[in-house]
């Protein structure tokens, strides 16, 4: 029994000595623990590296960054405090209004370069409404995730997302001022420039829509509409010859809306008190199919098969 007790004491003493030596050998650490710096909020021009659909979405810092890789959207504007974002009624409460992102998107794509009043050609019909370039994509709001909020971040950012979904390459920044439209942001109707159903512009299609007029009770005649549409397509595409030596046709469609809001082919003057709208685009020659968007393409080879 004594031998067993002595052995136990020897083990205990050895452990205590080891702890004392380790404590003496360890350097003294002074001060208080400091959290590692948290990544900054996104900045305008960065891209979304994770998918974010309509509505307010909370994303971690690794979800936004450089646009050099395939991405799902682009940052248009950043509010330092989400409380600065206008709100809209939502049931018994309210929510941030993503329509507040509309001016940021217009500026980001430089839509003013193809708007009436910018002296670069004739984009206006002689009716009450001009040709307006299409505003590409949908906008949404994103904010910090729980970890970022706990770190003191309360920002909210406007982002643009392609209606066709992602990922995609390229950017819509300045697309109407010398840029090139990513195919994911193009508008390609399936059967005519006034078609309701669209198909992805990076897949085979015959038609691409460039612009529309606002609702109006008077439109130019067919010849004038065609001429102004051709001028618009030439500038928006950047092509020296908008019709690509006959491989493309400038296409104008006109619809009129009945009292129920349904649209039909026709002109507002032919109906009376119903407003109409014109659509401006291009069509590939019969038997050919486009495989990309033409906005900003310039005189590069036509994406056709």
Give the ranges where 116-256 is alpha helix by DSSP (H). 146-150, 222-237
> 255: Cβ–Cβ under 8 A, 6 or more apart, which residues?
194, 263, 264, 265, 266, 276, 277, 279
Band the pLDDT of 27: cuts 50, 70, 90: low
pLDDT in tens, 150-201: 888 999 999 999 988 879 999 999 999 989 999 999 999 999 999 889 999 9
**Helices and strands (H, E) in the chain, number of each type:** 5, 15
Quick: pLDDT tens for 4-25: 455 555 544 454 555 545 554 5
pLDDT above 50: residue 300: yes
Label residue 122 by pLDDT band (50, 70, 90).
Answer: very low
Over residues 66-83, mean pLDDT? 92
Instruction: Give residue 283's pLDDT.
Output: 96
Flag whether pLDDT at 29 surpasses 70.
Answer: no
pLDDT at 116 over 80: no
Structural Rg of the chain based on CA atoms: 30
What mean pLDDT value characterizes the chain? 82
Q: How far apart are CA 159 and CA 54, in angstroms?
A: 10
User: To the nearest whole percent, how much of the chain has pLDDT over 70?
Assistant: 80
Percent of the chain with pLDDT over 90: 39
Q: Which residues partner with 58 through β-bridges?
A: 143
Calpha distance 245→266 (Å, rounded): 30
Q: What is the mean pLDDT of residues 84-100?
A: 84
**What pLDDT, on the 0 to 100 scale, is given for residue 72?**
93
* Tens of pLDDT, residues 203-256: 999 999 999 988 888 888 889 899 889 988 998 999 888 888 899 999 999 998
Cβ within 8 Å of residue 107, ≥6 positions away? none
Model confidence band, residue 33 (pLDDT cutoffs 50, 70, 90): low
Exposure b/e, 248-284, CB count within 10 A at least 16 = b = bbbbbbbbbbeeeeeeeeebbeeeeebbbbbbbbbbb
Beta-sheet strands, E only, within the chain: 47-48, 56-59, 64-65, 73-79, 87-90, 93-96, 132-133, 138-144, 156-161, 188-189, 198-199, 207-212, 248-257, 263-265, 276-284
């Amino acid at each position: 029994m004594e031998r067993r007790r002595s052995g136990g004491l020897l083990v205990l003493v050895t452990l205590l000595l080891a702890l004392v030596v380790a404590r003496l050998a360890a350097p003294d650490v002074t001060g208080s623990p400091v959290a590692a710096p948290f990544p900054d909020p996104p900045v305008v021009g960065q891209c979304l590296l994770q998918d974010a659909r309509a509505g307010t979405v909370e994303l971690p810092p690794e979800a936004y960054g450089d646009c050099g890789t395939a991405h799902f959207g682009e940052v248009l504007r950043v509010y330092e405090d989400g409380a600065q974002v206008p709100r809209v009624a939502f049931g018994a409460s309210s929510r941030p209004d993503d329509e507040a992102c509309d001016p940021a998107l217009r500026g980001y794509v430089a839509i003013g370069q193809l708007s009436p009043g910018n002296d670069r050609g004739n984009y206006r019909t002689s009716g009450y409404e001009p040709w307006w370039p299409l505003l590409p994509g949908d906008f949404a709001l994103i904010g910090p995730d729980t970890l970022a909020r706990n770190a003191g971040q309360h920002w909210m950012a406007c982002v643009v997302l392609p209606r066709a979904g992602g990922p995609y390459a390229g950017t819509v920044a300045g697309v109407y001022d010398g840029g090139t439209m990513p195919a994911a942001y193009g508008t390609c109707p399936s059967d005519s420039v006034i078609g309701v159903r669209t198909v992805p512009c990076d897949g085979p299609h015959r038609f691409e829509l460039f612009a529309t007029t606002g609702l109006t009770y008077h439109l130019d005649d067919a010849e004038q509409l065609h001429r102004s549409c051709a001028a618009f397509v030439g500038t928006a595409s950047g092509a020296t010859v908008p019709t690509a030596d006959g491989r493309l046709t400038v296409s104008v469609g006109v619809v009129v809306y009945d009292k129920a809001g349904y649209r039909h082919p026709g002109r507002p003057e032919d109906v009376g008190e119903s407003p109409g709208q014109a659509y401006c685009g291009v069509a590939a020659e019969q038997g050919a199919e486009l495989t990309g968007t033409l906005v900003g393409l310039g005189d590069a080879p036509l994406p056709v098969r």
